[in-house]
Structure 1
């Protein structure tokens, strides 16, 4: 159950909690030992996670309300909105690589923070979608027409 500790740092979200078995790959689910839970234990775990999400959502909403956050701060610290960002990269997209920055047509700048790589690509002004993770505060950038996605953080 120690692996569940990684699931606790929840950020505000405006959607229902997916079941844990839908959020993890089978390999992750098995590595965490969750495959050994009875259906009743798994249902109890999902109920508990859903309750944690609701509590953390309420806390995040109150913090955002107090800080007077605005919608255009998506992906930034204490942002109020967890709505996906749809846009276009300005200039050429040459693939993913840790540390690369991606400037969108709306002025936002996102930097890749994981090791996902996508090489041999050159695409001018591709459409992108940046979506928040279900649990936690991570954001993921995907490029239209490619299956890979990179973990990113907003820097501007």
Structure 2
């Protein structure tokens, strides 16, 4: 269910980006720039006809025709399918205070200063405890899984701070 939601959100974001890019190509410089940027470039000194001529030229010549393809590979030359995964590492800490199990949207504070929120719909059974160990590991599509000692399964979480 979470994966379908993420794919739906990704598709919607991609569609909005395409619409935004198309809108920017048809807008003039004055609509695409802030008033400070417009003045800093000296474009406020142009007559309306000069500005219209410049907008027309940019519309005709401003498109980039070269295509850049970037491949992310390891030092050995093998492709990396999730390049950001290399930066994400497993976290082991303790829940700060009493832990009584999971519920949707529950926020967990750890003794290392991090705060994590339960974002999945999983609700594994857990035993209550004081300062249990929490293990957080990277998962697919940029998500995270947390396991708390005394629980029988992991839950999806996202970092709050």
The two structures have a TM-score, normalised by structure 2, of: 0.47
The two structures have a TM-score, normalised by structure 1, of: 0.49
